Structure 1
């Protein structure tokens, strides 16, 4: 359910774009959809994750600039900026604090050596960086419609593939007692 809620604004953006063919209108709908998603999350859980907050701010700022200036470039760059910011945050966690971001997110569920946590964290850094560049490549080499399709299906698909790969990597490094559960 959380995954659906997280992707709901993107799905709404996609549906509006497909029905109107207008990326500015789709962006104008994306902004309140994202705000509504955050409000719903806040009222249900009384907390907003940092990643969600960063995404919200960038949707409002870059989406707002798209609508205000009637220039799709801002919203098309947003996924790259989000991914690169997450990549920087994950990279920074390698050097700041006791645990990497990945360990903070998953450490309560898994017991792994520090080296494995660092490798996983660096894999996410590389993934976020690559996703940012992939988005830019699609923006500048393909049509607007291809970018909208990539934004929903391509990025989601690549993320799922990466998570499955991460799961396979993790399964090789779990202690024997955790593999049985």
Structure 2
């Protein structure tokens, strides 16, 4: 569980840096510049440490650089504000692969209810697409404070609620199946 949150924090580090710097300074250029620099530094650090970097890491870096540069050159924050939506769409597309979630589940879950894990994977994909569309809608307004609220509270909150619902449902189904198997 701790590893999953560490991966998520790593994946969204540039967005977190952007958000914090912007909220503290109210300076879009500074926040964007530091987010781009942070993304580059993160990849360099991982390479120096010999960590293998996946496709999503490089795709995220490219998005940060391209959209960050567009934001800096045009001084229009909507470019960088769109980045989380692109990430949500890309992650949603990856989540459409059947069984993607199995590797993140404990053995008890994958042994007892693998078909529910696959269904939950599709539900997560839908959630990512909805959050991506919401991010674009909010970014289009150009209201940075609304966007900051959306990506830091609404999007994160939706994922926490979805995780909690999934956890409870999985527990109920696993308990039910194990009791039924014990009776049989």
Which residue of 1 is the match for residue 182 of structure 2?
none
Say which is worse superposed, 117-126 or 60-69, in terms of deviation: 60-69
Is 1:123 matched up with 2:123?
yes
Which of these residues, 11, 24, 32, is aligned with residue 29 of structure 2?
24
CA apart distance, 1:74: 1.2
Q: What TM-score do the two structures reach when normalised by structure 1?
A: 0.77
Which residue of 2 is the match for residue 162 of structure 1?
162
Q: What TM-score do the two structures reach when normalised by structure 2?
A: 0.76
Instruction: Go from structure 1 to structure 2 and tell me whether the alpha carbon gap of 1:163 and 1:55 turns closer, same or farther (over 3 Å shift).
Output: farther
CA apart distance, 1:107: 6.5
Which residue of 2 is the match for residue 140 of structure 1?
140
Instruction: Go from structure 1 to structure 2 and tell me whether the alpha carbon gap of 1:11 and 1:142 turns closer, same or farther (over 3 Å shift).
Output: same
CA apart distance, 1:81: 1.1
Which residue of 2 is the match for residue 47 of structure 1?
52
Give aligned pairs, total. 171
Structure 2 CA distance for aligned equivalents of residues 171 and 115 of structure 1:
14
Structure 1 CA distance for aligned equivalents of residues 49 and 170 of structure 2:
31
Structure 2 CA distance for aligned equivalents of residues 57 and 121 of structure 1:
26
Provide structure 1 residue ranges, at least 5 long, that are not aligned to the other structure.
Answer: 95-99
Confirm or deny: 8 A CA contact 2:100 2:118 kept in the other structure. Answer: no
CA apart distance, 1:39: 3.3
Deviations 1:61-112 (A, max 9, x none): 2222222332222111111111111111222x13xxxxx2112333657324
Is 1:85 matched up with 2:90?
yes
CA apart distance, 1:160: 1.5
Structure 2 CA distance for aligned equivalents of residues 90 and 105 of structure 1:
12
Q: Could you say what the CA RMSD is over the residues aligned between the two structures, in angstroms?
A: 2.7
Higher helix share: 2
Deviations 1:31-74 (A, max 9, x none): 11122233334445612344433322221222222223322221
Provide structure 2 residue ranges, at least 5 long, that are not aligned to the other structure.
Answer: 180-184
